Amino acid sequence: MIRSVKPSLQSIREKVEAGERLSLDDGLFLYEPTTPLHEIGALANLVRERLGGNFAYYNINTHLNPTNVCVYRCVFCAFRSDLRDPKGYAMSDEQILARGQEAVENGCTEMHIVGGLHHQRKYDWYVHVVRILHEAYPQLHLKAWTAVEINWFEFLTKKPVRAILEDMLEAGLGSMPGGGAEIFHPEVRGEICEHKADAGKWIEVHRTAHQLGLKTNATMLYGHIENAFHRIDHLIRLRELQDETGGFQTFIPLAFHPENTGLSHIKKPSALTDLRTMAISRLMLDNFPHIKAYWIMLGIGTAQTALSYGADDLDGTVRHELIYHDAGATTPEILSVEDIRRLILEAGREPVERDTLYRRIVRDQQDRAKWSVGDAIPAAV
Ligand code: V47
């Protein structure tokens, strides 16, 4: 039930304690700079612990960006390249398979695959990337293609979203990442990425994926030209889809990194904005099982703190991340398992290695690169 009283910290606290849903106005109130951050953090922590106890999750993962050549020119992106720019690349099958081999040798359970919408590569190439990796390394979970890429494949093939997702599933797709969501509201989307899939299309792709039994994630890119209303509107649109399908696993708020982008005059959001956004996300998205503090993007200290501001997941050990590092991220390129576990323990949480679908991973004691899937982590939402 959504009560329409003028929001105050007291009314919001009562709702959160009673497990009631927060409204748009509540969300806007929480974003007001005079609403104390530590109070919001404490409420988000209450929800986080109610849903997931003291656990904090991570996985052992790697990234693959098969090409950076992209027909779109999103103003916030430092990763993309023009077709004829010397920076542009498209990986060969050998390079792609070598990444799979490296991932397996290092005990990765997941490969996160996203890239540019290459002017000359056909749809079949994108299906082929999934297929060769899955055939060679069937244990490696392929979390691949954003809704924006699926929409590009629609344009290339004139096939419906469902048929494209079925092709990808048949080739070995395991789940979909949450990228490409940016800010849904057209006032902002029209300014930062006017040509690519709009909010309705992003949501349609995820709805269809959920109907086919695929789990997906969701993101929000904040700290550029949007305001608090655009952020809360974005979260409410995600919450509505989750009510309908239940197919989202994790929400990842993504702080804008301005370096080498068309918005380089904008200052990176502060750690306080990052924590406020993390906490508000946890409070607004009452039906999302997990909230991720992506350490690559937040920096290690803020990511650790975020584990007490609503987040229960740090993403993974990560290797070969380009999107944030091209945009000026100063975080390391990889964390060791020991490091990520220590960061979680220092934050007072209990580290749990998970797979992409939030099942516990059991490691072979003699050879840590070998693993098997254990129990599912119950989703309390
Ligand atoms: O969609 C691009 C964002 C996203 C910049 O699903 C930028 O588990 C900040 O979606 N500054 C891709 N952000 C990354 C992504 C993601 C990351 C980690 C985990 C998961 C998951 C998904 O990165 C893009 C865009 O929103 N992005 N450029 C930039 N300069």
Could you report the average pLDDT of every consecutive run of 10 residues in the chain (381 residues)?
Answer: 75 97 98 97 98 96 97 96 96 98 96 97 98 98 98 98 98 98 98 96 98 98 98 98 98 97 96 98 98 96 98 94 90 91 98 97 93 88 81
Give pLDDT, residue 2: 52
Neighbours of 82 (CB within 10 A): 15
CB 173 within 8 A of CB 215: no
CA 346 – ligand 1 centroid, Å? 26
CA 377 – ligand 1 centroid, Å? 25
Q: Answer whether 281 contacts ligand 1 (Cβ < 6 A).
A: no
Give pLDDT, residue 10: 97
User: Which protein residue's CA is at the shortest distance from atom 24 of ligand 1?
Assistant: 179
Neighbours of 93 (CB within 10 A): 13
**What are the C-alpha distances in Å from 265 to residues 191, 226, 261?**
15, 15, 9
User: Which protein residue's CA is at the shortest distance from atom 2 of ligand 1?
Assistant: 77
Q: Answer whether 315 contacts ligand 1 (Cβ < 6 A).
A: yes
Instruction: Say how far apart CA 319 and CA 62 lie, in whole Å.
Output: 5
Give pLDDT, residue 5: 66
Looking at the CA of residue 261, tell me the nearest atom of ligand 1. 30
The residue among 273, 305, 274, 309 whose CA lies nearest residue 291 is 309
- Asked if CATH classification 3.20.20.70 holds for the domain at 23-376, the reply, yes or no, is yes
CA 286 – ligand 1 centroid, Å? 22
Instruction: Say how far apart CA 294 and CA 252 lie, in whole Å.
Output: 7
Give pLDDT, residue 380: 75
Q: Answer whether 111 contacts ligand 1 (Cβ < 6 A).
A: no
CA 254 – ligand 1 centroid, Å? 6
Q: Answer whether 358 contacts ligand 1 (Cβ < 6 A).
A: no
Give pLDDT, residue 379: 76
Q: Answer whether 221 contacts ligand 1 (Cβ < 6 A).
A: yes
List the chain domain ranges: 23-376
CB 317 within 8 A of CB 277: no
User: Which protein residue's CA is at the shortest distance from atom 10 of ligand 1?
Assistant: 179
CA 179 – ligand 1 centroid, Å? 5
Looking at the CA of residue 255, tell me the nearest atom of ligand 1. 9
The number of C-alpha atoms within 13 Å of 238 and in the hemisphere containing its C-beta is 30
User: Which protein residue's CA is at the shortest distance from atom 9 of ligand 1?
Assistant: 256
Residue whose token pair is 């494209």 = 164
